Structure 1
Amino acid sequence: MKLKHRVLTAAAAMVLASAAGVAVSQRAGTPDGADWAAYGRTSEEDHYSPLEQINAGNISQLGLVWLADVDTFDSFTAPLAVGGVLYFGVGNSVVTAMDAATGKQLWQYDPEVAKVAGHKMRAGWGTRGIAFSQGRVFTATRDGRLIALDAKSGKQLWSAMTLDPKDDAYISGPPWVAGDKVVIGFGGGDYGPVRGYVTAYDIATGKQAWRFYTVPGDPKKGPDGAASDDVMPMAAKTWTGEWWKLGGGGNVWHAMAYDAKYDRVYLGTGNGFPWNQKIRSPGGGDNLFLSSIVALDRKTGKHVWHYQVNPGNTWDFNNAMDIQLATLTIDGRPRDVLLHAPKNGFFYVLDREDGKPISAGQFAPANWASGIDLKTGRPIENPKARYPGGEPFVMFPSPTGAHAVETMSFNRKTGLVYIPEIEQQRVVVDPPNLAEWKYKPGMFVNTGLGAPPPGIKLPAGGSNLVAYDPVAAKVRWKVPQNGLLNGGTITTGGNLVFQGLNTGKFVAFAADTGKQIWSFDAQNGILGNAITYTVRGKQYVTVITGFRSSFANTPNWDYREQQRRVLTFALGGKAKLPTVEPVEQPIQDDPDFAVDAAKAKIGAGIYNQSCVICHGAGMIAGGAAPDLRKAGSPLDAEAFKAIVHGGALMERGMGKFDNLSDAELEGIRHYIRQRARETAPTTRANTVATPK
């Protein structure tokens, strides 16, 4: 990965120099706001900064100070800033350190993931973050390594392999620091038989400290010799059938948090594998610890308490979204609470001491349940939501979730949480021949659900920026937004909420009212959240541009044309982005290519199980990967095989699917041509006769 640094304007350099006069007072006033040293800034993970040098009153003076182009295939990430140095990881976990005030590159580390990841490259994701502690930067790789780097030099200090190289597990989420330990989970619960766990390592040495399994294993094998041994017999009683043959799932693929007061690590566990409980656990049961918040003792990894958000989860509702810590005054007394807005549309306020629910208001449309019974902690489910007897159910929210991994933020002054909310429906239904469902290996998505019946048409859906009051347990205001996915939020003591949008704008809202009060044309959609920090008393705001989706958007950010950049702002900034001329990528075709409908049907089955995640629903890409209709390689059988089967583009994030036969590869090529012609503009050049 290469960075191209753009030079500061003279005016921006003068602004930086003038900051020296306010350095002492700024740091003294907000001593804990100088750095953004963790995913959510501090171990509270609330994405809140007390800095107020940039505020709602002077936001109109905020301007670009410097920018740097990032040559990567995926930049859905947020940086860290410590001691005037900016750190970030993108793509194949390539970590870069830059001077936070000028953008000068200090060092770069490439773990060369594509050379060793093998079949794990098929997951198709980059990295969503890094961690920092004790002069070390921590990054995790898709192939399963957890790596510690010296923050000054970028030199590797240690590396620990956390996964079995043979299974379908991979890492896309950030590491999480907990005292003298760094903790890592992994993904893969949609792809194959993997059993969830998290592992803690000593920050200084990389030696494994403990491991906690999130779901029970094969009961015939006995204890795992892990920190979870004492609770696995209890968890196993909530499962039925032979779930261990399918791994169980429960992967902790993203959110965690460290509670310094209680010295605990909180895990947000994932969905089961497959999603459909009738296959995974045919006799029902709660299936612990799927879809749960699990509290562990930091020193030992032992279970302290758990709260299961979705017992017997059968919808891909999971708890990989933000886990934030706060102290709120509830019923007249301070309560140590955990704030959590998972996929299912309800906002949970839990007591951190014992995990009991305090409130669970609805922050988004949800029809799978009418509410949460606070006495039992269990949802009041709609019986139809489990699609009994194979009856399709049109569900709010969809498995994408009412809140995905784009960050929410909690402002300690306004008392509001700012959530990038999604409103989308999905039909959930059993697959044909439910009893005969089989796991299909090869990093394909194996949900255990069927295709929606013909005739059911769903609206496109939408999104909002929602301000939720966790004390009153209600939405205070919401701002309608474009499309489905928008960027994560941060909030500040200056009455601001910063968010990147899929429109290509980087914007600021008034934290108390939701009024948009500032906007910058970033020339690209943004999913990662911004950060804010100070250098020599001057407050900066940095965001990394880049957009990816499994669905087409308006505007639609073409994978090849995205302006992936690091953008840094400060008061008085005068730098400008270069002018970008729009490039229209035409749909490719060859009139001599005759589509074979039978072959295209084979290709459609493969595409819609796996390729769709990156290359887009209906083969209309949403920025995560190239639009195959516009690519030339599918027109050339040898070139296509070299990429898909041979792994020629693994450095750019495209996996090596050497499990596909020549017939399957040919089927995909025919399906690509079929969809290209179906979606091409109706012109003479694009109208090609195909055999019947």
Structure 2
Amino acid sequence: MQAKWRWLLCAAGVSAALASCGQPSSPAAQAVLDDVGASDDPNNWTGFGRTSGEQHYSPLDAINDGTVAKLGLQWSMDLPPQNSVSAPLAINGVLYAATGYSVVRAIDAVTGALKWEYDSKAAELAGRKLRQGWGIRGIAYGQGRIFVGTHDGRLVALDAATGKPAWTARTLPLDNASFISGPPRYFDGKVIIGFGGGDVSAVRGYVTTYDAATGKQLWRFHTVPGNPADGFENKAMEMAARTWAGKWWTYGGGGTVWNAMTYDPTTGSIILGVGNGSPWNHKVRSSGKGDNLFLASVVALDANSGAYKWHYQVNPGESWDYNASMDMALADLQIDGKPRKVLMTAPKNGFFYVIDRTNGKLISAEPIVKVSWAKGIDRKTGRPIENPDARYPDGKTFTMWPGPVGAHTWLPMAFNPKAGLMFIPAIEMATSYNDVGITQKNWVRAPGNAVDGAAIPNFVVKDAGPENGTSSLLAWDPVRQRKVWSVSTPGPWNGGILTTGGNLVFQGRIDGTFNAYAADNGKPLWQFAAQAPVTAPPISYAWKGKQYVTVLTGMGTSGAAFGALLPVNIDYRTQARRILTFAIGGTATIPKSDPVKIVAAADPGYAPDKALADKGMLVFARHCAVCHGVDVIAAGQAPDLRASAVPLDPALFASVVKDGMLVTNGMPRFEEFSGEELAAVRQYIRSQGDVLPKK
């Protein structure tokens, strides 16, 4: 029974080509350093990946492999108990950080003094959209404005000096499950935004681009075709429709661009990382036929008009919640003796791809983790050589490596042009799939914005091997397509990455440490005890000649469901959510905290009722586990309900779950739950708490 329900959770190159005509002898010679993007000033960090090339690389080198031992805390700021896993920005001595449901703060980067705060009130405006998504992951800057997407579907431009809204555009309808969590991107006087939600409802993906000065919509590009009877928006959608079958549009199709977008000024392209299908199961979504463009694809558009230019699909006929939504970095590399303008990406499916960014043709692709769904990628066709059993035919169960969490999640990798290496937060995790009893004729999407892929994955596969549920910081040579070094990291969830011109790689861990390594060989050089999970991507910047490193602490976003797999306890109520800023010679400190032990709330009135608990388990899995965790074991994004007194009181439980008493805190309202469902969920939660030590 337990296994059955788990499925419900579930820099671009503008510099001259290298002069050498032969294969370079060292990785450092393989890349041309260029920081193309929203800002050419190395002192600032103006976009999610610093520049539009999305390298997450700072050329600053005052903090380097020789001086990092003297790095200390300059200042810290405590944050409220909401998601704090996002990448901040730094412009001219001011730090801009977004947390929770699009609360943006401007902070003096030197002193940590608050300058202004803007609250979008997204949680209380989101309605049912609040049932999926985990808060904001990042913001953008351009033309003196901070651009922020809100969970309820707005794009807001804030005056960077005052925090006052300059304009607001509604980019999503209110009547479906689409939501915004990923950062917008600013480019060439424009700002582009996508969204998520295809896992839980009939959503058709698109991106929208606005004039950064006025908020006027400039163009919109859909990533999957709609009903042919309604006509097609453009030739690209007409082409894509030929790769679908059945009445796919009734399912929405998916293909949301919820994270990755990269601007390439050298080709005038905005490049999208497109998400998975809706529902996941290809047999239901498209009668098991066709490649289903542009799902799980890298798609290049004309940056001015939004017109289709090229695409490369990493998973034709996607059927596993795989997607191409992980960050995409641009660089110029010397490959086979020739300079190539490339895009590099490590999507969920376990392969590292190097793609020609001028035409979308595959250059190379090799696995970075254990892969069971494909034997490799055919370089001539660019298509995967699939294992037929991966599509779980005829009621078979298939153990998939990697699982839908991915070999790489949204937490960004980083490319160091000086070292010629990509640094990847890699994950080893298996998931088993089958679709026993599910057909296109009998499947109906679960109501209420519930996670439902028309398949039955089990995220916790017993006896999958010792590597299952592990992770590492992986240094990868993109030219030779091979590992250079790696460092094991605890559990199956690790932090976003920053690399710098000082031969450094920074990464946090769920064990509460923030670490620096030598970029060339992986040697540990520095560690700070943050005493809280550090998974957000760090940034580095300078002001008045001094270099700083900033990172946010606290667990959040899509790792929330996997508390059962973590080697540490992370408590929603007590974990320290902070902004930490470091500099050479910093001497500030943070309060010491003790390790957390989760204990059950005292529940003297509990009486076992397995039948009722089993009913509650199904409701919990569909609606609650995505935030409160598999087996009610939370990972810090939401309270661990085994330790909460709320489920012990039926009236209080109904006030929170059915009436929405805590909506402003990010707890959605489930107004459609019956009294029987509420009782069943309470029973299941209490049954899970009953096996824990009591207070």
Q: TM-score, normalising length from structure 1?
A: 0.92
Q: CA deviation at 1:580?
A: 2.4
Equivalent AA in structure 1 for residue 450 of structure 2: F
Q: Secondary structure at the match of 1:52?
A: coil
The percent identity for this pair of structures is 51
Could you tell me which residue of structure 1 aligns to residue 622 of structure 2? Answer: 609
- 1:320 Cα deviation (Å)? 1.0
Once the two structures are TM-superposed, the CA of residue 461 in structure 1 deviates from its matched residue by 1.9
Residue in 2 aligned with 1:7?
none
| 1:222 counterpart letter in structure 2 | G
Counterpart in 1 of 2:576? 563
The offset of 1:72, in angstroms, is 3.4
Q: Deviations over 1:67-88 (max 9, x none)?
A: 1101131101110000110001
Amino acid at match of 1:441: P
* Cα displacement (A) at 1:659: 2.3
Q: What is the match of residue 395 of structure 2?
A: 390
Q: Structure 2 vs 1, CA of residues 402 and 585 (structure 1 numbering), >3 Å: closer, same or farther?
A: closer
Take 2:288 and 2:325, find their aligned partners in 1: how far apart are those partners?
26
Work out whether 1:334 is the aligned partner of 2:339: yes
1:67 match: secondary structure: strand
Instruction: Assess if the C-alpha contact under 8 Å between 1:145 and 1:162 holds in 2.
Output: yes
Cα distance in 2 for residues equivalent to 1:577 and 1:368: 46
> How far apart, in 1, do the equivalents of 2:379 and 2:604 lie?
63
Q: In the alignment, residue 674 of structure 2 is paired with which amino acid?
A: S
Aligned to 2:426: 421
Question: Retained in 2: the 8 A contact 1:589–1:673?
Answer: no
Classify the secondary structure of the residue corresponding to 1:32. Answer: coil
Q: Partners in 2 of 1:485 and 1:667 — Cα distance?
A: 31
For residue 153 of structure 2, what is the aligned residue in structure 1? 144
Counterpart of 1:588 in structure 2 is: 601
The one of 519, 531, 535 aligned to 1:523:
531
In the alignment, what sits opposite 2:131? 122
Aligned to 1:680: 692
Q: Does 1:95 find its partner at 2:117?
A: no
For 1:72 and 1:619, the matched residues in 2 are separated by 19
CA–CA distance in structure 2, aligned partners of residues 300 and 631 of structure 1: 52
Cα offsets for 1:360-413 (capped at 9, x unmatched): 111111111111111111001111111111211011001100000111000011
Looking at structure 2, the residues matched to 365 and 281 of structure 1 have their Cα atoms a distance apart, in angstroms, of 28
Structure 1 residues 580 and 278, CA, compared in 2 at 3 Å: closer, same or farther? Answer: same
Shift of 1:599: 2.1
The residue type equivalent to 1:103 in the other structure is G
Between the aligned partners of 1:217 and 1:206, the Cα distance in structure 2 is 26
Counterpart of 2:65?
Answer: 56
CA distance in 1, matches of 2:166, 2:90: 20
Q: Give 1:295's aligned residue.
A: 300
Alignment match, 2:501: 493
CA contact (8 A) 1:47 1:408 kept: yes
Describe how 1:454-533 pairs up with structure 2 within 5 A.
457-459=463-465, 460-533=468-541
Amino acid at match of 2:625: V
Secondary structure of the residue aligned to 1:543 is strand
Contact 1:432 1:450 in 2 (8 A): no
1:133 pairs with one of 120, 142, 146:
142
Tell me, what secondary structure is at the counterpart of 1:663? helix
Secondary structure of 1:634's aligned partner: helix
* Alignment deviations for residues 20-57 of structure 1 (CA, whole Å, 9 cap, x no partner): xxxxxxxxxx9731001110011111001110000001
SS of 1:293's equivalent in the other structure is strand
CA, structure 1 residues 159+454, in 2 after alignment: closer, same or farther (shift >3 Å)?
closer
Q: CA deviation at 1:576?
A: 1.0
Equivalent in the alignment of 2:449: 443
Preserved contact between residue 77 and residue 528 of structure 1 (Cα < 8 Å): yes
Per the alignment, residue 675 of structure 2 pairs with 662
Query: How far is the alpha carbon of 1:631 from its aligned partner?
Result: 0.6
Match of 1:15 in 2: none
CA contact (8 A) 2:403 2:431 kept: yes
* 2:86 aligned residue: 77
Q: Residues 509 and 251 (structure 1 numbering): CA distance in 2 closer, same or farther, change over 3 Å?
A: same
Task: Tell me whether 1:233 sits opposite 2:238 in the alignment.
Answer: yes
Residues 565-617 of structure 1 deviation map (CA, whole Å, 9 limit, x = unaligned): 00000001111111224564430142223343232122110111221111111
Note if contact 2:274-2:294 (Cα within 8 Å) is conserved in structure 1.
Answer: yes
Say whether the 8 Å CA contact 1:497–1:511 is kept in structure 2: yes
> Helix, strand or coil: the match of 1:36?
coil
Which residue number corresponds to residue 623 of structure 1? 636
Q: Which amino acid aligns with 2:567?
A: T
* 1:650 aligned to which of 650, 659, 663: 663
**Cα 1:268–1:630, aligned 2, differ >3 Å: closer, same or farther?**
same
CA distance in 1, matches of 2:85, 2:570: 13
Whole-angstrom CA distance in 1 between matches of 2:472 and 2:572: 25
CA distance in 1, matches of 2:473, 2:531: 21
In 2 relative to 1, CA 537–305 (structure 1 residues): closer, same or farther, beyond 3 Å? same
Name the counterpart of 1:10: none
Letter aligned with residue 584 of structure 2: L
Amino acid at match of 1:616: G
Q: 1:489 to 1:456 in 2, by over 3 A?
A: closer
Give the conservation status (yes or no) of the 8 Å contact 2:569–2:596.
no
Partner of 1:323: 328
Shift of residue 274 of structure 1?
0.8
CA contact (8 A) 2:301 2:307 kept: yes
- Closer, same or farther in 2 for the Cα pair 1:55/1:160, shift >3 Å? same
Q: What is the CA distance between 1:540 and its match in structure 2?
A: 0.4
What is the CA–CA distance in structure 1 between the aligned matches of 2:415 and 2:622, rounded to whole Å? 37
Query: Aligned equivalents of 1:372 and 1:58: distance in 2?
Result: 42
**Aligned with 2:222 (options 213, 225, 228):** 213
Q: Is the 8 A contact 1:132 1:138 kept in 2?
A: yes
1:392 and 1:452 in contact (8 A); partners too: no
Please tell me whether residue 42 in structure 1 is matched to residue 51 in structure 2: yes
Paired AA for residue 121 in structure 2: E
Aligned CA-pair RMSD: 1.6
- Once residues 248 and 156 of structure 1 are traced to their aligned partners in structure 2, the CA distance between those partners, rounded to angstroms, is 34
Q: Give unpaired runs (5+ residues) of structure 1.
A: 1-29, 687-692
CA distance in structure 2 between the aligned counterparts of 1:61 and 1:284, rounded to whole angstroms: 59
One-letter amino acid of the counterpart of residue 78, structure 2: D
Kept in 1: contact 2:202–2:254 (CA 8 A): yes
Which stretches in structure 2 are left out of the alignment for 5+ residues? 1-38
Letter in 1 for 2:692: A
- The separation in 2 between residues aligned to 1:501 and 1:124, in whole angstroms, is 22
Contact 2:657 2:669 in 1 (8 A): yes
Question: Is 2:249 the partner of 1:244?
Answer: yes
1:203 alignment partner, one of 187, 206, 212: 212
Q: Which residue pairs with 2:267 in the alignment?
A: 262
What residue in structure 1 maps to residue 542 of structure 2? 534
Aligned residues of 1:489 and 1:498 also touching (Cα < 8 A): yes
Instruction: Give the aligned partner of residue 13 of structure 1.
Output: none
Question: Structure 1 residues 31 and 395 mapped into 2: Cα distance closer, same or farther (>3 Å)?
Answer: closer
Letter in 2 for 1:568: T
- Kindly indicate whether the alpha-carbon contact (under 8 Å) linking 1:124 and 1:653 is maintained by their aligned counterparts in 2: no
Quick check: 2:225–2:232 contact (8 Å CA) kept in 1? Answer: no
Aligned AA (2:116): W
CA distance in 2 between partners of 1:86 and 1:144 (Å)? 25
Would you say the 8 A contact 1:128–1:174 is kept in 2? yes
Find the partner of 2:201 among 192, 201, 205. Answer: 192
- Residue pair 2:206, 2:256 contacting (<8 A) in 1 also: yes
**If the length of structure 2 is used for normalisation, what is the TM-score?**
0.91
Q: Is the 8 A contact 1:543 1:568 kept in 2?
A: yes
Counterpart residue number, 1:23:
none
Contact 1:124 1:654 in 2 (8 A): no
Could you tell me which of 370, 373, 388 is aligned with 1:368?
373
Aligned-partner residue type, residue 388 of structure 1: P
- Distance in structure 1 (CA, Å) of the matches to 2:461 and 2:159: 58
Q: Distance in 2 between matches of 1:522 and 1:455?
A: 32
Letter in structure 1 aligned against 2:540:
T
Native 8 Å contact 2:569 2:598 kept in 1: no
